[in-house]
Amino acid sequence: MANIASALLILVLAAPAAFAATTYTVGDSSGWTNFGDYTTWVSGKTFAVGDSLLFKYSSTHSVAEVSKDDYDSCSTSNILKTYTDGSSTVPLSTAGPMYFICSTPGHCSGGMKLAITVVAASGTPTTPTTPAPPIMKEDDNNWPEPDRVGRQELEIVMGNEHISFTTSKIGSLVDVHSSQDPEGLRIFYYLVQVIAIYKHGYLFECSG
C-alpha cells in the first residue's frame, strides 16, 4: 500500500506595525538661511518621535542644537550638538522641546533659529509599508492536485487575510521543477521546509 502522509500546517504571521515617519526639510525649498522665518515654518506642523529634520545650508551656516536659554539669548557657549556638513539630518528621538540656532555670529539674532516641540508617536499604525511575504501572492491553481500519493496543505493567516494552499505531497525539488508553477511551488516548498524545522514548538502535524 502506498504510504499516505498528510500534513496540515497553520502559520500565523503577525502583521508588522509600521509608522509613517516624516522628514521635514527645515525652511522647505529655501532651506536653513538668514532669510528664513522658522517660527512661521513651524506653525501648523506636528513633529513626532521617529520623524527627522533635514537642514540644508551653505558653508557660511551651521546647525547647533542648544538649550532653551541659549536659544533665547543666541549663546553658542554650551552647544549640545553641532552639524556643519551642509545637509544634516537630525532624528527626533525623544519627546519634548528642541532648539537649534546658527552659530555664525549675528545669524541667530537675525532670526536664524528654530524651536520645535516633539510629541510622542501616536501609536496608531498606518498602512504597513512592508510588502507582504511572497507566499501571500501565490495561488495554487497550477499546482499538482492532491492525489493518492498524499496531500500537503498550508494555511496562512495574516491580519485579515486568510489563504490556504493545497498540493500533492512534494517529495523533492525535482517534483517542484517539473510542475507547472515551479516558482510558486518553490516558495511553498521552502516555507514548508522551514516550518518543519520549527514545527515542534509552534505547529501540529497529523499523519494518517
Q: Of 61, 70, 184, 185, which one interacts with Cu ion (CB under 5 A)? A: 61
Q: Assess 169 for contact with Cu ion (CB under 5 A).
A: no
How far apart CA 31 and CA 72 sit, in angstroms, is: 21
Site size with Cu ion, rule: CB under 5 A? 5
Contact criterion met (CB below 8 Å) for 102 and 32: yes
Select from 74-82, 87-95, 105-113, 171-179 the region that touches Cu ion (CB under 5 A).
105-113
Nearer to Cu ion, 61 or 169 (CB): 61
Smallest gap from residue 11 Cβ to Cu ion (A)? 56
Q: Assess 101 for contact with Cu ion (CB under 5 A).
A: no
How crowded is residue 140: how many other Cβ atoms within 10 Å of its Cβ?
Answer: 18
Q: What is the b/e burial string over 112-135, where b = at least 16 CB atoms within 10 angstroms of the residue's CB?
A: bbbebebeeeeeeeeeeeeeeeeb
Smallest gap from residue 27 Cβ to Cu ion (A)? 12
Which alpha helices (H) appear in the chain, and where do they start and end? 38-42, 68-73, 173-177, 182-202
Restricted to residues 109-128, the positions that interact with Cu ion (CB under 5 A) are 112
Helix (H, G, I), strand (E, B) or coil at 136: helix
Q: Assess 102 for contact with Cu ion (CB under 5 A).
A: yes
For the chain, what is the radius of gyration of the CA atoms? 29
Angle CA 149–151–156, to nearest 5: 165
Smallest gap from residue 74 Cβ to Cu ion (A)? 11
How far apart CA 146 and CA 63 sit, in angstroms, is: 66
Restricted to residues 13-42, the positions that interact with Cu ion (CB under 5 A) are none
Q: Of 104, 142, 166, 168, which one interacts with Cu ion (CB under 5 A)? A: 104
Q: Residue 132: what are its φ and ψ, rounded to 5°?
A: -65, 150
Nearer to Cu ion, 66 or 112 (CB): 112
Nearer to Cu ion, 32 or 143 (CB): 32
Nearer to Cu ion, 66 or 170 (CB): 66
Q: Of 74, 100, 101, 107, which one interacts with Cu ion (CB under 5 A)? A: 107
Residues found near Cu ion in the complex (CB under 5 A): 61, 102, 104, 107, 112
